[in-house]
Structure 1
Amino acid sequence: MTAAAATSVLLAVGIGAAPPGTAVTAEAVIPGDGLALTPPMGFNNWNSTHCRAEFNEAMVKGIADIFVERGLKDAGYQYVNLDDCWALPQRGPDGNLVPDLVRFPNGIKAVADYVHSKGLKFGIYTSAGTKTCNDNGFPGALGFEQKDADLFASYGVDYLKYDNCNNQGVDAKLRYTTMRDALRRTGRPIVYSLCEWGENKPWEWGKDVGHLWRTTGDISDSWNSMLGIAKTNWALADYAGPGHWNDPDMLEVGNGGMTDTEYRSHFNLWAIMAAPLLIGSDLRKVTPETFEILGNREVIAVDQDPLGVQGKPIRSANGVHVFVKPLKNGDKAVLLFNETEKTERVTTTATEIGLPQATGYKVRDLWAYTDRHTAGTIATTLPPHGSAMFRVNADRGWAKYPPAVDTGAALQTVYPGASPLVEPGQNATVTTTATNNGRVPAVTVKSALSGPAGWEVLPESPSDKIMLRPGESLSTKWTVKVPADAKPGTYVLAVRTTYRPDADTRFDFEVRVPPPAPAANAYVSDMAWLSSTNGWGPVERDTSNGESGERDGNPITINGTTYAKGIGAHAPSNVEFYVGGRCTSLTADVGVDDEEGNDGSVGFEVWANGAKVADSGVMTNAMPAKPITANITGAMVVRLVVNDGGDGITSDHGDWAGLRVTCS
């Protein structure tokens, strides 16, 4: 392709246009081509559909329509990308990949044309191996790089996700560079995503090969998976920048495995880390809250800031983190993040985040959409797994904004760090706190606590103050009377602090009415649980862990012995359940499930009222099941933990076989 032709292609798709007078050659298309100067934003179907029949032409077109209709395109989302399973299992007589015409009856180019007609861009998938990653083994691109690159260019592809399965041991850099060169020769500008899983440290060499590279294995729709991936990715901040991004995998927001609080933290973490924002949920089915999270333009602006710096933690201790990301206009984006299981007040200062000394600072809350001023302290109270994001700058006009008052609440629990449980017909004690972080007093301050309909809330100490001076707090103790007929479930208590001039701050926190405690001996797999988290897929009842959807596991089998009852987990895993002081002991046979062959090592722990009462030590697949007994006398809450055995996550399927509690 001539330089003029390459230039016309760039201009035709509206990206990567060179400055006037600059010659554009095919060799300039990847990398250093003006593509992905901010992290790519769009959609990929894999997290919501995998290879199921619902992945088809109608879905892809529907996503493109929703991007336009729901404002996601205007918010910055561009790419509508296909993942694995779009092709037939065999190449055609000409050696080309053949679209699955059951899924895509009009072919791939027609889908790409439809996406382009919406002003969006189109992406596709293949693997740097002989086959793709799906169990059915669709054809990969190893040895067919140029043929496949030419085919993709003819479809009008704007983005290629290049996976890592069935690579036959060929050097990773060679495999990915070969496809890079093939894409160059097409002359078409194609964002190139190296889905290499971080196995060969692509952050060290990927800048000269593609536009983004996976830093981790695949994400799953669970808190533990998301958090573990985020921690790996945030340690690599220095490798990211315009045109070359660390990729911690696609978003799970809206897929249902986490709470909205956890999804907001997921989205905040990806944004502060300047990660690609590729929606992984089926937007035809998600909740309004999902659209609210994915469509937050102020958080998106942090991710898309043209300075292109990946934010990173400047302080992390005991599960509480302070992230900072410098922005092009001189602001600092600040993320306060609480990964723990209890409510935490998290603080930082203008000095700590690197702002110059000033009399006052403007603080913009990117979720409350409010502007406040602070004398230097940036603080918020966060629920378990919660986060808050701010833009902060030294502002000479700080006095025109109300003082920043942060509000929080804490429930008196059975033990420090316990789940916030309240029992029907009982009283609970809640303490609310409002703190003035501003330079001037907050005036006519009043805190109010409200509960669900039928719950009575009474103040036991003063809840208002004429003036709250800088640095001063108003603490109020409340009695919350829980109705005797309150059903098991999660309820919200809301704290609102109002103050002049015309300002308020709010903190919502959840309390839980637990299911009834067992009245007799019971298998834990038959009980209602308070919570469960898992490394891959859901924790399973009476089967092993299948790593994907519910009930996709096999019979629990440890060292040749099969069990009818139990729990199938994958490290890291936590299961918490309520026993209400009625039970005395817990017993199980624990071990690594046989389905993992010779892989996997895990440890099993039992915690009662926040204290560890049993520990299996490290278990491997070669070991028979180990009996474990725990004294849980008097405990209100029991937690089951499966850890990775200290050697990382490697097929760590941990079974609690025959797990039961003795109660009366």
Structure 2
Amino acid sequence: MLALTVWTALLLLLSPLIALGTAAPAAALGNGLAPTPQMGFNDWNAYGCNVSEALIKSTALAMHNNGMQAAGYSYVNIDDCWLTSSRDSGGHLVPDPVKFPDGIKGTADYVHSLGLKLGIYEDAGTATCAGYPGSLGHETTDAQSFASWGVDYLKYDNCNNTGVPAQTRYTAMRDALAATGRPILFSLCNWGQENVWTWGAGVGNSWRTTGDISASFSSMLSIFHSNVGLASYAGPGHWNDPDMLEIGNGSMTDAENRSEFSLWVEMAAPLIAGTNLTTASASTLSTLTNSRVIAVDQDSLGRQGTMVSSSNGLDVLAKPLANGDVSVVLFNETGSTATITTTAAAIGKSGASSYALTDLWSGSASSTSGTISASVPAHGTVMYRVAGGSTSGGTSVTGEVHAVGAGKCLDVPNSTTTAGTQLEIWSCGGGSNQIWTHSTSNQLTVYSGGSQMCLDAYDNRTAPGTKVEIWPCNGQTNQQWQFNANGTVTGVQSGLCLDVTGAATADGTLVELWTCNGGSNQQWTLG
């Protein structure tokens, strides 16, 4: 208890410095896990505290036999209540010997024998949400236990956190996991607090963006609305997590279940089933294992879909895919059947007289000259994969340009419009000096009307260290920028990467061109 008190006091002393930015955030995660969103099972939604070795083993066996594993679900995750109410004399967590007679290692060995992976739960506080020992102040010891047991995934909750900043607590466990040498996927569960999406990419493989989901259409809808606008923060290895799937639970209809799955897939969300898979209905399994739909979630480009239009509860989402196709979801939030319509141009497609449409739920094929439309039942979705033409054109994209490594935004200093001003990073605030438009001609513009300026490589130079500035738009190649699937932004003229100087994270750090090196200071998202 004394060690925990000292640790907590130290963190509280440090937290004002961290909040002020005088203590730089740690480097990006880089554990090589979750290049596409993770897929698996978690027991909490269906079983609550009634977890056991027998439950986890029977679920793993069911996944092995019922098509879930073949569809890509690989993690079998234990949630809260797996441990005893106190640590042992050496300060280690103790699996409940009644619930887990073979311990976590024995359970992991069985799960691994089926070709699956085991996940476990802990909390970044003094106690878990159910009141069992938490990991705050015990990160190194607990991470070593998880690694020695063969754990592959950690869901890390946020209860009883004593007010210590989340980034401090979650980073401590990140570093402890890394020190074990075992690849352990790190899932941050801090309920969307403290704008976790702005710093989560450097700490975890995914982060919860909201509070807990429940098995109702209204809960799912609320969470969808909260998560859909965060697309610019997600990408390979770091995903927005709108919580576990409720498909198969509660009173949600088949149409509502397909909507939840379609929306989670379109938002490149982790797919963590939360129902009883040993007795799951054919309808539930059919929804969870549709290979055409899952392929959109697991697409290697790693882009989260965005809202193209939303009017009176009728939504259109589009998600670009690695092969040039676009996934489109037509979602009807309302209680009555409605026709939802969009166009190939609106979803970023152009250059063809005809586009091929595949209905991802039914598998049926059709074509269109440009209009994409369907009659969508109440609370339902229609989901298409659109092929043909080019995705290099289409509509422009407007939003903040996020520096992933720093958790800051590309910024014009002091909102100036003076040509030649070098750009910097600054805490995101949504001002006009941080809102950029990537046009169909690959220009990156800021401001509008007569004040519009272009992102420009100074004096047409192509050497590393060239400053990046604003300049009146002129159409030259030193003002053309390509957003790449790996998160980099490269100058069309130079081939160099947009770079935060020295990988610094402080407000006011200048932005320049530099040789592409894969660093987190060269990772950007727009939206």
TM normalised by structure 1 equals: 0.54
Structure 2 residue identity aligned to 1:211: N
Deviation at 1:29, TM superposition (A): 12
In 1, are the aligned partners of 2:266 and 2:318 still within 8 Å (CA)? Answer: yes
Task: Please identify which structure carries the higher helix content.
Answer: 2
Structure 1 residues 30 and 123: CA distance shift in structure 2, 3 A: farther
Q: Residues 85-131 of structure 1: CA distance to partner in whole angstroms, max 9, x if unpaired? A: 00011111111111111111111101011111111111000000000
Q: For residues 133 and 36 of structure 2, what CA distance do their matches in structure 1 show?
A: 31
Deviation at 1:264, TM superposition (A): 0.3
Aligned match of 2:142: 148
What pairs with 1:408-557 in structure 2 (closer than 5 Å)?
A: none
Deviation at 1:182, TM superposition (A): 0.5
Aligned match of 2:92: 96
**Match among 377, 380, 387 for residue 383 of structure 1:** 377
Aligned match of 1:457: none
Q: For residues 276 and 67 of structure 2, what CA distance do their matches in structure 1 show?
A: 16
Aligned match of 1:263: 257
Moved over 4 A (4+): none
Aligned match of 2:292: 298
Deviation at 1:357, TM superposition (A): 2.8
In 1, are the aligned partners of 2:247 and 2:284 still within 8 Å (CA)? Answer: yes
**Match among 199, 212, 217 for residue 218 of structure 1:** 212
In 2, are the aligned partners of 1:362 and 1:395 still within 8 Å (CA)? Answer: no
Aligned match of 1:49: 47
In 2, are the aligned partners of 1:336 and 1:388 still within 8 Å (CA)? Answer: yes
Aligned match of 1:326: 320
Kindly, what percent of the aligned residue pairs are identical? 57
Structure 1 residues 345 and 172: CA distance shift in structure 2, 3 A: same
1:78 correspondence with 2:78 = no
1:32 correspondence with 2:30 = yes
Deviation at 1:257, TM superposition (A): 2.6
Q: Residues 250-275 of structure 1: CA distance to partner in whole angstroms, max 9, x if unpaired? A: 00000133111100000000000000
1:250 correspondence with 2:267 = no
Q: For residues 121 and 186 of structure 1, what CA distance do their matches in structure 2 show?
A: 17
In 2, are the aligned partners of 1:319 and 1:340 still within 8 Å (CA)? Answer: yes
What pairs with 1:526-605 in structure 2 (closer than 5 Å)?
A: none
Q: For residues 364 and 29 of structure 1, what CA distance do their matches in structure 2 show?
A: 42
Structure 2 residue identity aligned to 1:316: S
Q: For residues 69 and 272 of structure 1, what CA distance do their matches in structure 2 show?
A: 27
Q: Residues 132-191 of structure 1: CA distance to partner in whole angstroms, max 9, x if unpaired? A: 001xx1000001000000000001111100000000111111100000111111011111
1:128 correspondence with 2:110 = no
In 2, are the aligned partners of 1:274 and 1:310 still within 8 Å (CA)? Answer: yes
Structure 2 residue identity aligned to 1:37: P
Larger gyration radius, structure 1 or structure 2: 1
Structure 2 residue identity aligned to 1:77: Y
Q: For residues 185 and 262 of structure 1, what CA distance do their matches in structure 2 show?
A: 43
1:373 correspondence with 2:367 = yes
SS of the residue 1:233 aligns to: helix
Aligned match of 2:165: 171
1:110 correspondence with 2:76 = no
Q: For residues 28 and 147 of structure 2, what CA distance do their matches in structure 1 show?
A: 14
Q: For residues 391 and 352 of structure 1, what CA distance do their matches in structure 2 show?
A: 14
Structure 1 residue identity aligned to 2:107: V
In 2, are the aligned partners of 1:346 and 1:381 still within 8 Å (CA)? Answer: yes
Q: For residues 138 and 30 of structure 1, what CA distance do their matches in structure 2 show?
A: 30
Q: Residues 295-325 of structure 1: CA distance to partner in whole angstroms, max 9, x if unpaired? A: 0011100001010000011100100000000
Structure 1 residues 190 and 29: CA distance shift in structure 2, 3 A: farther
Deviation at 1:198, TM superposition (A): 0.8
Aligned match of 1:339: 333
Q: For residues 259 and 95 of structure 1, what CA distance do their matches in structure 2 show?
A: 47
- Please list every run of 5 or more consecutive structure 1 residues that lacks an aligned counterpart in the other structure: 1-27, 397-664
In 2, are the aligned partners of 1:29 and 1:189 still within 8 Å (CA)? Answer: no
Aligned match of 1:4: none
Q: For residues 109 and 377 of structure 1, what CA distance do their matches in structure 2 show?
A: 55
SS of the residue 1:200 aligns to: helix
Deviation at 1:284, TM superposition (A): 1.3
Aligned match of 1:354: 348
In 2, are the aligned partners of 1:30 and 1:183 still within 8 Å (CA)? Answer: no
- Please list every run of 5 or more consecutive structure 2 residues that lacks an aligned counterpart in the other structure: 1-25, 391-527
Q: Residues 554-576 of structure 1: CA distance to partner in whole angstroms, max 9, x if unpaired? A: xxxxxxxxxxxxxxxxxxxxxxx
Deviation at 1:351, TM superposition (A): 1.2
Where relative contact order (Cα < 8 A, 6+ residues apart) is larger, the structure is 2
Q: For residues 126 and 303 of structure 1, what CA distance do their matches in structure 2 show?
A: 27
TM normalised by structure 2 equals: 0.68
In 1, are the aligned partners of 2:28 and 2:201 still within 8 Å (CA)? Answer: no
Task: Please identify which structure carries the higher strand content.
Answer: 1
SS of the residue 1:166 aligns to: coil
Q: Residues 433-464 of structure 1: CA distance to partner in whole angstroms, max 9, x if unpaired? A: xxxxxxxxxxxxxxxxxxxxxxxxxxxxxxxx
Q: For residues 268 and 211 of structure 1, what CA distance do their matches in structure 2 show?
A: 22
Aligned match of 1:586: none
Q: For residues 305 and 260 of structure 1, what CA distance do their matches in structure 2 show?
A: 25
Aligned match of 1:533: none
Aligned match of 2:188: 194
Deviation at 1:285, TM superposition (A): 2.1
Q: Residues 500-521 of structure 1: CA distance to partner in whole angstroms, max 9, x if unpaired? A: xxxxxxxxxxxxxxxxxxxxxx
Deviation at 1:73, TM superposition (A): 1.2
Q: For residues 104 and 118 of structure 1, what CA distance do their matches in structure 2 show?
A: 18
In 1, are the aligned partners of 2:351 and 2:389 still within 8 Å (CA)? Answer: no
In 1, are the aligned partners of 2:242 and 2:269 still within 8 Å (CA)? Answer: yes
Q: Residues 380-407 of structure 1: CA distance to partner in whole angstroms, max 9, x if unpaired? A: 11111000111001169xxxxxxxxxxx
Deviation at 1:33, TM superposition (A): 2.4
In 2, are the aligned partners of 1:334 and 1:391 still within 8 Å (CA)? Answer: yes
In 1, are the aligned partners of 2:128 and 2:157 still within 8 Å (CA)? Answer: yes
Structure 2 residue identity aligned to 1:123: G
